[in-house]
Each structure stands twice: as structure tokens, then as C-alpha cells.
Structure 1
Amino acid sequence: MSLAHEGVVLVTGAAGFIGYHLTDRLLGEGCRVVGLDSLNDYYDPRLKQARLARLEGREGFRFVRLDLADRVGMAELFATVQPTVVVNLAAQAGVRYSLQNPHAYVDANLTGFMNILEGCRHHGVKHLVYASSSSVYGANTKMPFSVHDNVDHPLSLYAASKKANELMAHTYSHLYGLPTTGLRFFTVYGPWGRPDMAMFIFTQAMLEGRPIQVFNHGRMRRDFTYIDDIVEGVRRVMDRVPAPDPAWSGEQPDPGTSRAPYRIYNIGNHSPVELLHVIATLERELGVEAVKEMLPLQPGDVPATYADVEDLMRDVGFKPATPIEEGIARFVRWYKETWLPVAG
């Protein structure tokens, strides 16, 4: 039996982009899921409500509105739910927003994650899977990015908070034997995606006849990863509880593994795409030519991301493979047919 079917799965950020899709997948498999979300207004709450509406009322699903930073509320939730597996996808997201509102990242990504770890520790959770980010690679330039590389030079507070999550998780794996797996996601896109990300922003602006801001003069390269590939990777990792690495050595410490039950994986398409190609593909799918406002690289941004997914392939037998053209076509179809009628 799959570990996810043994008891209750707690998914935080269940009304978010990845959380919604993962919860939908788990419910489709017959799992029991408690979905947590604060439903904050970082972006259009109608999108979160629309995602949640597609989950509520389904067999096996219970929704709890709660902020991760609520220490008492989180402790009560763990005591009541007693989850077998926890997938933490709730976080304050966004690189550029972290320059304007840094305290939000401390509350959600540090204090909130601390409450998750404590809940897992005190209630016998068998596996904590949590979202990290490709942004942790920061100033690294050796491509593709490997989980076995040092990542000590973040370029935004968001990136630093995700690196901190990995360090905090390792501490709990070491001290309490809590199995933890961190997943570094690479530029996730697709239906029900986040409206603060380029794919959504560009599509909306182009359909409304507004110019789009193209940073780094379009030379930005991103390892765009389609949402279904992300969910497949997360789902497989959930059932692979990490074990201590017997080959790990403190003389030459491997950042991706440990003597504790701790693992880190990249989940990316392993195929970086230039931003100008993304825009050209959107133009073709939308039948609209974009008005481009070319701008320099923004503070906190990195010029390129590229995922090494060898560990993911070896351990769970999967690597993302949806071509950008196919993924964008699906996103545009969803945007026109589903989101536009909701957004008006």
C-alpha cells in the first residue's frame, strides 16, 4: 500500500497552484486529504477560491483555513488530524515581492515552517515533503544545477528562506529521525497557475493590448516545468521515505544527502528556454503580437536556471518531459475557456 493511503495526508497551501493540483490528484486516487490554506490576498483571491471550489465537497477532503504562523492553531491541527504524510506547499512566494515585504517571508517561510516541523516531530509523521525552490542556487553559474552543489549564495530573501527550510529540515531529521525530503521546483507553469508569474502576466497583458515587461532584454533562460510533471514528481517522492546515506562523509559533506533521513531533489524540465521563445509561443497561441518593453535584469533575479534531475530519475524513475510548446497551448486553452469567464 502507498504511504499516502495509510492515513491522512496534510497538504498545506491546498488552494495554491501546486497544492490544488496535488490535492486533486490525491483525491482522485482515493486518499484522505486535509487541505490547509490561509487564503491570503498576495494575489487575486478569486483564483484561490475557484481552485478550492473544485475540491470542496469531494469525498475524502476536508479544508481548514489557517495561517502556518499560528503556533497554537497549528499544534491543535496536528493533534486533531494526526497526519501520516505532510506535504508543505504553503509559503510566501515571489522573488521580487521579497524586496518590498521581507517580513512576510519570515512569518510564512520560517515561523510557519518551524510550526510544521514541530507538528511532525510530536505526532509521528512518517514523511515530510516540502517545497524548496530553484532560487536557492542564487549566484551559482555551473550548469545544470545539481543538488550536490553548495548553495550558500542566495540573491533574494525568498531564496534565503527556502535554503533555511532545507537547513531546518536537516536539523529535525538529525535530531529526531524525522524523514524529510525537500523539492527544488523550477519555474512551474500551467492551468490554474499563479497570476504573479510571467506566463499569466504576459497572457493577460497581451489579450488586453497592454505592453509586457521583458526583463534581461528577453535573454532570461528558465527551466519551465509543466504542473502535471511537478505533481507526478511530488507524488512519487511522497512514497519514497528517505533513509540515511551510509556513504555520507563529514570530510566531504554532500549537500544533497545526509547521515540523517534527509534528501533534496530537483524537479525541473532539464531544458532551459529563453524568455523570448516563450513570448513567441504565446503570440502564436493567442494570435496576438506582444508589445515588449525591454528592461534590464532585476535585483534578486538570476539570468538562467537549469535542473540536473539525475537523482530524481534514479530514485523514483521519473523526469519531467512536457515540451514548452505543449504546456503553453494547454495553459492558453485553460485561460481562455475557464479563467476568463470567472475573471470577467
Structure 2
Amino acid sequence: MKVLAAMSGGVDSAVAAARAVEAGHDVVGVHLALSRMPGTLRTGSRGCCTIEDSRDAWRACDILGIPYYVWDFSERFKEDVVDDFIAEYAAGRTPNPCMRCNERIKFAALLEKALALGFDAVCTGHYAKVIEDADGNRELHRAADWAKDQSYVLGVLTHEQLKHSMFPLAETPSKAEVRAEAERRGLSVANKPDSHDICFISDGDTRGWLAEKIEMETGQIVDQTGEVVGEHDGANAFTVGQRRGLKLGRPAADGKPRFVLEIRPKENKVVVGPEALLAVDQMRGIKVSWAGVPIAEVESQTEFDCMVQVRAHGDPVAAHAQVEPADDGRPELVVTLVEPMRGVAPGQTMVLYQGTRVLGQATIDSARSLSWDPAQVS
């Protein structure tokens, strides 16, 4: 099989490519240049796809004896990931750029180009598993190592994309084993730190970065009753669940800390309140997609039991879900939690599971708590 190995420059993608070669596939390595100005070196372990990463990917391909190319996806990345990130924050939502990158770059733009060039599959170093059911349909499942499982960020993959996806690290019991294997193979990235945080914000200062991209105006911070308790420098820089940096001029009556409950960019208001009001009972999702063939309840729009996860490393929570038709003809996903979940923000991605299987995902459009009605905040 002709396989295109996406080489980030890290240890996971290098070992995944090595395993694909060892399995007898015809493998070609490609590194994605996602920025026109990547800098010369990464800062600590932040970011990915820098010049240093490109060189590490080249060294790995050289050791593996496979061709190596760099593809410039910087314009597509800016439009589909960076600009989307800015627009979502400007609208008062909290986006996940890694989800958008997997959806629109690694498994849309990259896979599309790979198939056009005659490749059969794209291989990545993600920790996730693809399984075929009795009818030959492909399903996405959690990896063997749940601590490293990355099925959440792959929840946006469609049935057609899963047909051409290869995850050689699926059954690997630990990251330590991957590093040990890389060292045995003579790969220089064996002990390279994992990348983390948002790759295009190299210093990790999301608020400062956004301040340069979104026009910020001072406005009111109000509590859950609508009373003004402080002033902010720009509502768009806050996230639901945030505690630090509120600079409230008036303490709560009980002396306990307050958290961001809601962001209202049109009114330029930030709503704060006690931690207990962060608990969410129900979420409505838009931009719904299914990882593989949808289960029968999706087609019949009947309720089904599932687990829902709203963060890459968050704990899954038991829930009941149902697809509902919307006024614009696009389906919405309504998820009611068995136990409340804390700090859910519009713009986040909720991924549904049954057992280890990923059912699909949706972007959270709204989240509500039965404890208070946001409409009472004037």
C-alpha cells in the first residue's frame, strides 16, 4: 500500500512512519509548513511545525530511507485554523484549534492531496485505533493507552476519511515504549519533548495574542443577578470557567471566589458568579459529524445513551443524546448529562463515545444549567 506519513518532527510520527515501513508499505514522508514565519527554534516544548521540527522530520526520514518532502499549507492553515480561532473568540466562544487542524488540514487538505497523488492512506502518530465491523465499515476507537489517547481530537473524522487513515501507534501500551523504540531505531527525536499549547501562539500568552487581533473595549463585569461588580479591558479575552485575572472591585458577599459564567460580546459584558453555577446539565451542538457509519438512533432521531467528553484530556461523563432537526435544516445534537459538568463553554467540541468507540462530534452552541437562568442578567 502506498502511504503518506505526516511527519511533525516529533517522536510519535517518526515511530509511526517506521512501523509503516516495517509493515512493508511504500512510505513517503511529508512535513507540513503551516507558518510563513516559523522562527528558527521552538520555545521549550511549545508549538510544532517549526524549522527545527522540519529538520528533525528530515533526519528521521533519512534514517528510515524514505523520500521526504515539505508541503506549504500555510495559507490554508491561516484561513481554516488561525482566522477561525480569532473569529470564534470575537464571537465570545472558546474554540479548539487542534480539532480544526485535524479536520481541515491533516485529514482534509492533506488527505485530499495525498489521494490525488495516488496514495492509499495517510499515516500519523496519533494514539487512536481504527477497527472494521462485521460489514467492513471502519470505526474510530480509543487507543490502548488511555493516558495518551487522542481519539477526542480525531472525533471530526468522517467515514470516508477513516477509510484512508492509518494509526500505527494504536496498540502501543505507553509513550515510554515509543521513546524506547525510537532510540533502538537510532531516531534522534527519541527524547524530544512533546509539543503542547497552541502551536501558532509560541509564548503561550493567548490573551496577549488575541489583543493584537481583536479590537478590545472596556466594559462591565456583572454578577449572576446583573449587578455591576467590576470592569474589563475586553470581553473577548475571557473564557468560561476563568477565575484568575478578573480584577473585581467588589468581593462576593460570602467572600468566595467568582468565576466567568458567560461572555456576551454583543453587549461587551462578562458575567461572573459562584463556582456552583458553572455546572452544566444540557448542551446543544451544531456542525454535527459522525465518525464512521452513524448508529441507528441517529438515523431515527431517537435518544441513545453515551459518554461525552468536552476536552482533549477531560473525563468522559454519562449522558443521553438525541439528534433534533433545526429550523435551517441542519441537525442539532442535544446532550443531557446524567451528572452536571463544570465549565463548559460555547465553541468547545463535544465528542460522543459508546465504550471505546467514537460515535461523532459537535461544536457546542449553548450550554445551560438548571440552577440559574442567564436571561435574568440584564
Would you tell me which structure has more strand in proportion to its own residues? 2
TM-score of the superposed pair, with normalisation by structure 2:
0.30
Higher Cα radius of gyration: 2
Indicate the structure with greater helix content: 1
